[in-house]
């Protein structure tokens, strides 16, 4: 079994107890459904109910709004532990906590917090709708338009690749109210699934995290009350940038969890699989591969924990978040790929867990800012600091 003691020295007793509770939940409640959910590319709705019952869908939400009132670091611990078993359930929880809830906590009015946070803590899944067909890394090349008419905004256009699209009851949607102003026209809206003119479109058929719904969103004269503007009109770009900076740490935690799950599976396999009269674990070549995987995993985990701690402490974490996401996503791909190798022919079959961990890991270098975007952020901050 994976030795996590070095990283655990960074955690309090409360955090360790929480981590263990989430780990038990993942092993007992989620693991039996993982293969079926992956094959059907569909989340088991009963698991979502249990996430709410466990209090995992409102980890940072203050107790007065029905949440756990815990820290960002604890949200990341939950994301990591779930990802050790299933990346799809992990990212559902991640988007809920590190993106949607965080944005409402920071930018929402008191009325918005009172209306939405309690529902998100007990029954509503959240989604974060920024990407479009023409705006991936160029996140502000938005074509979704918003026009104010009286006490409402009318939204027209579409969004693509929206995580939690099928399950969500509330969406943070970014639209442009004034194209001539460029990114300064971008505004964030809280859009409920039942608003007139809004519907969820097709679900993507993906390589990995298949049980996580990734959907198109369609807006045809969608009516959004003016009171559902999140933050200020024209300040959506600021909300998007700051929220994604935080969300990248959550994705880093997901990648650490996926890598840890793959490492654990490979370690157990090489100890049980025999060749030439002894277990694979007795061959030095295999031992060295395990040592490199474990070192890669520990480095990624410590970078993610460090970024989360900086965020909780109110210190500058942007560069650390970019580094954590960049490194953890690359490490996850390396570790999961090597796990497939260590399983040999069995690693290429769906009967064993290695190939799924590998498929699930690939998305880490793409969503919430590609690896190239993280490199750009790190380089810019270093050059600005040296300048």
355 counts as catalytic: no
Confidence at residue 138, expressed as pLDDT on a 0 to 100 scale: 83
Confidence at residue 386, expressed as pLDDT on a 0 to 100 scale: 63
* Catalytic option among 60, 167, 298, 368: 368
CATH match for 238-386 among 1.20.140.10, 1.10.4030.10, 3.30.420.40, 2.40.50.140: 1.20.140.10
Q: Minimal CA–CA distance to 128: which of 95, 87, 82, 169?
A: 95
Confidence at residue 7, expressed as pLDDT on a 0 to 100 scale: 52
CA distances in angstroms from 39 to 82, 209, 349, 359, listed in the order given? 19, 11, 13, 13
Query: Which residue, chain included where needed, has tokens 């338009």?
Result: 145
Confidence at residue 1, expressed as pLDDT on a 0 to 100 scale: 46
Burial 316-338 (b: 16+ CB within 10 A, else e): ebbbbbbbbbbbbbbbbbbbbbb
Q: Minimal CA–CA distance to 174: which of 194, 145, 152?
A: 145
Confidence at residue 277, expressed as pLDDT on a 0 to 100 scale: 94
Is domain 127-234 classified as CATH 1.20.1290.10?
no
**Measured distance CA(308)–CA(192) in Å, rounded:** 30
**Measured distance CA(379)–CA(387) in Å, rounded:** 12
Confidence at residue 206, expressed as pLDDT on a 0 to 100 scale: 98
CA distances in angstroms from 60 to 249, 314, 364, listed in the order given? 15, 15, 23
Please state the φ and ψ torsions of residue 135, each to the nearest 5 degrees: -135, 90
- The answer to whether domain 5-125 and domain 238-386 are alike in fold is no
Q: What is the mean pLDDT of each run of 10 residues along the chain (387 residues)?
A: 52 95 98 98 98 98 98 98 98 98 98 98 98 84 95 98 98 95 95 98 98 98 98 96 96 98 98 94 97 98 97 97 98 98 97 98 96 96 82
- Under CATH, what is the fold of the domain 5-125? Butyryl-Coa Dehydrogenase, subunit A; domain 1 (1.10.540)
Q: Which string of DSSP letters, residue by residue, matches 60-73?
A: SS-GGGTS----HH
Please state the φ and ψ torsions of residue 201, each to the nearest 5 degrees: -95, -145
Q: How many CA atoms lie within 13 A of 315 on its CB side?
A: 9
Confidence at residue 139, expressed as pLDDT on a 0 to 100 scale: 73
Confidence at residue 136, expressed as pLDDT on a 0 to 100 scale: 77
Give the pTM: 0.96
Burial class (CB in 10 A: 0-12, 13-18, 19+), 170: buried
Domain ranges of the chain: 5-125, 127-234, 238-386
Tens of pLDDT, residues 271-304? 999 899 999 999 999 999 999 999 999 999 999 9
For residue 7 the two structure tokens come to 């990283």
Question: Which residues have CB under 8 Å from 112's CB, separation 6+?
Answer: 104, 190, 227, 228, 230
**Local structure of 280: helix, strand or coil:** helix
Q: Minimal CA–CA distance to 357: which of 86, 23, 94, 90?
A: 86
């Amino acid at each position: 079994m994976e030795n996590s003691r070095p990283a655990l020295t960074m955690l309090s007793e409360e955090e360790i107890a929480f981590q263990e509770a989430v780990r038990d939940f993942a092993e007992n409640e989620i693991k039996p459904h993982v293969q079926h959910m992956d094959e059907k590319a569909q989340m088991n709705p009963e698991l979502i109910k249990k996430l709410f019952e466990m209090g995992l869908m409102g980890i940072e939400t203050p107790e007065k709004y029905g949440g756990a009132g815990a820290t960002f670091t604890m949200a990341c611990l939950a994301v990591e532990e779930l990802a050790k078993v299933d990346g799809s359930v992990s990212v559902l929880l991640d988007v809920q906590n590190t993106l949607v809830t965080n944005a409402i906590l920071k930018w929402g009015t008191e009325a918005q917090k009172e209306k939405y946070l309690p529902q998100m803590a007990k029954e509503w899944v959240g989604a974060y709708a920024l990407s479009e067909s023409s705006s991936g890394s160029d996140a502000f090349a938005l074509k979704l338009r918003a026009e104010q008419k009286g006490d409402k905004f009318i939204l027209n256009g579409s969004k693509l690749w929206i995580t939690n699209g099928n399950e969500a009851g509330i969406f943070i949607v970014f639209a442009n109210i004034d194209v001539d102003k460029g990114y300064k026209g971008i505004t964030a809206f809280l859009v409920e699934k039942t608003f007139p003119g809004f519907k969820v479109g097709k679900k993507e058929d993906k390589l990995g995290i298949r049980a996580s719904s990734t959907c198109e969103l369609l807006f045809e004269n969608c009516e959004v009350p003016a009171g559902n503007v999140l933050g200020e009109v024209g300040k959506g770009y600021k909300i998007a940038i700051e929220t994604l900076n935080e969300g990248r740490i959550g994705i880093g935690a997901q990648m650490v969890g996926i890598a840890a799950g793959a490492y654990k599976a490979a370690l157990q396999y090489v100890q049980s699989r025999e060749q030439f009269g002894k277990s694979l674990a007795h061959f030095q070549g295999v031992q060295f591969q395990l040592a490199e995987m474990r070192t890669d995993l520990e480095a990624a985990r410590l970078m993610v924990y460090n970024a989360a701690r900086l965020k909780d402490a109110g210190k500058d974490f942007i560069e650390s978040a970019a580094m954590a996401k960049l490194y953890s996503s690359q490490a996850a791909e390396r570790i999961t790929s090597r796990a497939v190798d260590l399983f040999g022919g069995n690693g290429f079959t769906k009967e064993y867990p290695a190939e799924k961990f590998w498929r699930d890991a690939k998305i880490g270098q793409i969503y919430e800012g590609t690896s190239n975007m993280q490199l750009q952020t790190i380089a810019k901050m270093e050059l600005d600091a040296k300048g």
